[in-house]
Homo-oligomer: A and B are copies of this chain.
Amino acid sequence: MKGIRRLAQHLDISIGTVSRALNGRPDVKEETRKRVLEAARQFGYVPNQSGRSLRQGTTNIIGFMIQTGSEITGQGDTFFMSVFDGVQEVFARHKLDLVALLCSSQEDPTEYLRRAVARGFADGLILSATRRHDPRVELLAERNIPFVTLGRTLTDAGQPWLDLDFEGMAQASIDRLVARGHRRIAITLPHNDANLGYVFVERCRQALSAHGLILDESLIFRSTPNEAGGYQIGRDLLALEERPTAIVLINETIATGLYRALLEAGVRPGADIAVIGRHSPQANFLSPSLTCFRLSLHDLGIALAETLLSSMPAFAYHYPDAPPNRLWPMELVEGESDALQAHQF
C-alpha cells in the first residue's frame, strides 16, 4: 500500500477525504484536516505528480526554455540565475514550480518545444532568445498554451511579451555620443537573427538620421555574443582605414574582449575611443570603467512571471493590471569609457 491509500488506511478514512483535506477543500472537518496534515508530514507524503496532473490536466509547472551551449544566446549563467530568482519569487506565492527546459545545442528548438508541450509537461512557458522569425510562438499560440516571451518577434501572435528597451538604449546612446561630437559611431550586433539586433540597428539608424547623420554599414559589427566575439570586433575595428570614434555594444559579454583588443593595440577606451555597453557582473571591474546600461534582472524576472500569470485564467485575477506587453527600461550608468569628446581629435 502506497501513496494516498497508505495514508487513508493509517487514518482509517477514505482516500477522497485525504485528498480533500490536503487540497484545502471546504467540506472536511477541521479536526480531520489537522490529522491528515499531521500524518502527511509524518509520512513525508507528497501527492504523486503524474497521478495528479493526469487527473486534473495541470502540472503546476512552468517551463523556462533556454538553449544550452551558451554561444547562442550570449547570456551567461548569472543572467538567467538572477531572472529565475525573480520569477520564482512570484511563482512561490502560487505553489508553482519553475523548471528550466534545456534545449541542447544539437537539437532544433522548435522540435524540442513541440515535444515538451505535446507531453503536457508544463502549464505555461517562458521563451527567451527569441528570433526574428520564431516558429515557437506560432506553435504555442495554436496549441493555446499560455506563454510569455522575453523578446519580441516579427511573428508575434498576440501573446504577452517583455522586452528590454533596446530602442531606448539606441536612442540614448546615439544622442549622447552625437552631443559629444561623435560622427562616426560603430555598433555591434549578434550575428544570428535574434530580434533584438534588428530593433537596435533600426533605431540607431533613425537616431543618427535625426541628427543628419547616416549609419555607415561598414561600422556595423557582427559577432558571436561572447568575449571572443568582442575581441574579434576590436581587431576588426582597429583594422579599419577610417576608425570610428565611438562604439555601442549591444551584448553584455563582449566588453571584456573588446577592451583586451583595444588595450593590446594601445587604444584606450574613454581616451582614444568612446565605448558604451551593457552592464554585467564583470563590468564593474573593467578599467577604465564601462559606461553601460543596467537593469535589475531580479525585477525583470518578477515582471516576467506576473505577465505570464496574468494571461493564465487560473491566476489572472491576482494581477489585474499587469500590462500584457512591456518595454523594460535600462538605466545609464556613467563610467569613464565614453569620457572623450570627439572634437578632442
Residues of chain A at the chain B interface (Cβ within 8 Å)? 44-51, 53-54, 59, 63-64, 66, 68-70, 75-82, 84-85, 88-89, 92, 98-102, 104-107, 114-115, 118-121, 226-228, 230-231, 253, 256-257, 259-260, 263-264, 281-282, 284-285, 287
Contact = CB atoms under 8 A, between A and B. Distances in A.
A285 B120 contact: no
Contacts of A256: 256, 282, 285
A87 to B, nearest CB: 9
A115 B46 contact: yes
Given A101-B99, A114-B44, A70 B59 contact: no
A119 B46 contact: yes
A128 to B, nearest CB: 12
B80 A104 contact: no
Nearest to A282: B256
Copies of this chain, whole number: 2
Contact of A102 (B45, B53, B99): B99
Contacts of A81: 66, 68-70, 76-77
A260 B281 CA distance: 13
A46 B78 CA distance: 34
A314 to B, nearest CB: 18
A48 B119 contact: yes
Contact of A285 (B44, B101, B106, B231): B231
Contact of A88 (B46, B102, B282): B102
A59 B46 CA distance: 17
Contacts of A284: 227-228, 231, 260
A286 to B, nearest CB: 8
Nearest to A81: B70
Contact of A98 (B85, B102, B105, B227): B102
